[in-house]
Amino acid sequence: MRIVCVAGARPNFMKIKPVVDALDARGADTMLVHTGQHFDAAMSDVFFDELGLRPPDRHLGAGSGTHGEQTARVLVGVETLLAEEPADIVVVVGDVNSTVAASLAAAKAGCLVAHVEAGLRSRDWTMPEEVNRVVTDRLSDYLFSPSADAVENLRAEGYRDDQIHLVGNVMIDTLLANVERARRRPTLGALGVEEGAYGLITLHRPANVDDPAMLRTLTDVLGEIAKDLPLVFPVHPRTRARLAEMALAPGITLTDPMGYLDFIALEASAKVVLTDSGGVQEETSALGVACITLRENTERPVTVELGTNVVVGRDPQRIRDEARRAINDGPKPSQEIPGWDGHAGDRIADVLLRGGGPEGHVRPTDR
Ligand code: UD1
Ligand code: UDP
């Protein structure tokens, strides 16, 4: 049995690593494919180096473009690959364009499709990721969910129980495996900040950064927060050009996108994290660090219900108030999230290899 694992953009690399490792540890025949959606060294190579993710067996070189161009290049790339290297199961992770394109190619090639991070829903159809999530789940045979809310979403959409597997969170597998190593790095000193005495920012959602007026609104309020707390802002390539045209308050330190270990080191010791990232909402909850999400909704409600996340939207007053609360009072009370325990990759591999693989899996015929 051959299992092809696909990754293509920054957050995919942390998610695929525990799955590849768990499959390799069980002696499975695996192939790792990099779609090339992200390609800068700081958005791709650094994660292979720092996580010890083995080099991809194939690189599809898809690169950037419109949604149609990028999705189509991955679709053709994976279709060609599967024609040359037949696979039984194709594993896709997350919600990026590479995820939906690879799952479509795999389903048409007759492979079983396994979606890691199935069932997350923001219910915001203007988010490209929401379209990718819904379509990828529909194309998938194995639905691996990180949390009970995701399982509920899948059941409500009519997926059968034998397709749905509540396995926990692979992003947190990677976080727990690396956080102590990250804490030993000289990251804070190099940036001139001290433990618990700075904030960390990430912004890359099109709704926040593509419109200069919205980005200006957000950077203005961040500038006000920076009067009380120095802020470190590693800038995503999508955000770079727009931000370069704007003058920022002196308390905000901009950096290039960070490697995983430096970023985790900063995240773990921050007083507060202000973000629109999906993965960062999860990591801050697992680390017990206050997180303020600058979006109107989240597909990860468990980070709000049990974790440290507060979704505030883009209203400057709410952002200021919540930042002040986090600075004065620390993170809101939180609990451990069930299954976010470092073993999601193992559970996924066990399901995929159960009963000798796809022969043991009943392909859904009633969907
Ligand atoms: C993508 C995902 C998003 C995810 C994010 C993680 C989709 C629809 N979006 O958004 O869900 O949260 O990745 O970071 O799949 N660029 C570079 N170098 C790179 C990569 C991108 O310069 O290595 C620039 C390009 O100019 C490109 C822009 O960033 O046009 C956006 O890249 P793209 O992959 O299309 O979307 P992201 O905003 O990165
Ligand atoms: N991350 C990183 N360097 C950075 C910013 C983020 O290594 O400068 C990591 C972060 O720790 C998390 C992942 O990238 O593991 C989140 O990816 P991103 O925010 O790009 O995508 P999303 O999760 O929103 O899809």
Residue 8 Cβ contacting ligand 2 at under 6 Å: no
Q: What is the Cα–Cα distance from 255 to 268, expressed in whole angstroms?
A: 18
- CA 260 to ligand 2: nearest atom: 7
Which pLDDT does position 357 carry in this prediction? 52
204 part of the active site: yes
Low-confidence ranges of the chain (pLDDT < 50): 356, 360, 365-367
Which pLDDT does position 245 carry in this prediction? 85
Which pLDDT does position 195 carry in this prediction? 98
Instruction: Give the residues surrounding ligand 1 with Cβ less than 6 Å away.
Output: 9-11, 37-40, 43, 64, 70, 95-97, 128-129, 204, 236-238
Which pLDDT does position 364 carry in this prediction? 52
Q: Annotated catalytic residue: which of 34, 38, 115, 204?
A: 204
pLDDT tens sequence across 143-157: 999 999 999 999 999
Would you say 62 and 100 are in contact if contact means Cβ atoms under 8 Å apart?
no
Q: Which residue has the tokens 């048409």?
A: 108
Which pLDDT does position 130 carry in this prediction? 98
CA of 33 to the centre of ligand 1 (A): 18
**Strand partners for 115:** 92, 143
Residue 201 Cβ contacting ligand 2 at under 6 Å: no
CA of 45 to the centre of ligand 2 (A): 14
Which pLDDT does position 359 carry in this prediction? 52
Task: Enter the pTM of the model.
Answer: 0.97
Which pLDDT does position 316 carry in this prediction? 98
Residue 263 Cβ contacting ligand 2 at under 6 Å: yes
Give the residue among 71, 73, 139, 151 at the shortest CA–CA distance from 110: 139
Residue 258 Cβ contacting ligand 2 at under 6 Å: yes
pLDDT tens sequence across 105-161: 999 999 999 999 999 999 999 999 999 999 999 999 999 999 999 999 999 999 999
Alpha helices of the chain — where are they, by DSSP H?
10-25, 45-51, 67-84, 97-108, 128-139, 148-156, 170-183, 187-191, 206-209, 212-225, 237-244, 260-269, 278-287, 302-305, 316-329, 344-353
Residue 257 Cβ contacting ligand 2 at under 6 Å: yes
**Strand partners for 231:** 199, 252
